[in-house]
């Protein structure tokens, strides 16, 4: 499963950021959006700098572990060709979870 931006850029009525929807490259389901080009007002505003936003009803968080079963950190992410797919057993488990806030 991979997520990538899809479709044409769009903006909202509240700012001039260039936004693209993000979805699964296998099935096409939308899972969030990416601020591809932030506008000047958003760059000047106080924010956390994240440009990828995921819909809570379309995604489930889980901790990734390295080969030694340590928590995987951003600076230690494997290259794309080294990355492993999520095992079916984990996907089955995630499907059984009801996500609540």
Q: What is the pLDDT of residues 47-90, one digit of tens each?
A: 888 899 999 998 888 787 877 888 888 777 777 655 555 555 55
pLDDT at residue 31 is higher than 80: yes
Give me the pLDDT at residue 101, please. 29
By CB atoms closer than 10 A (0-12, 13-18, 19+), residue 83 is exposed
pTM of the model: 0.63
**What is the distance, to the nearest Å, from the Cα of residue 34 to the centroid of all Cα atoms in its chain?**
8
State how far the Cα of 79 lies from the Cα of 13, in Å rounded to an integer: 38
State how far the Cα of 51 lies from the Cα of 43, in Å rounded to an integer: 11
By CB atoms closer than 10 A (0-12, 13-18, 19+), residue 2 is exposed
Which of 83, 2, 77, 45 has its CA nearest to residue 35?
45
């Amino acid at each position: 499963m991979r997520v990538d931006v899809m479709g044409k850029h769009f903006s909202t009525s509240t700012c001039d950021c260039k936004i693209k929807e993000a979805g699964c490259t296998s099935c096409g389901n939308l899972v969030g959006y990416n601020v591809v080009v932030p506008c000047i007002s958003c760059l000047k505003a106080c924010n956390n700098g994240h440009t990828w936003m995921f819909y809570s009803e379309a995604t489930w968080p889980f901790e990734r572990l390295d080969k030694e079963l340590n928590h995987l950190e951003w600076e230690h992410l494997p290259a794309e060709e080294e990355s492993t797919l999520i095992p079916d057993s984990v996907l089955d488990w995630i499907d059984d979870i009801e996500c609540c806030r």
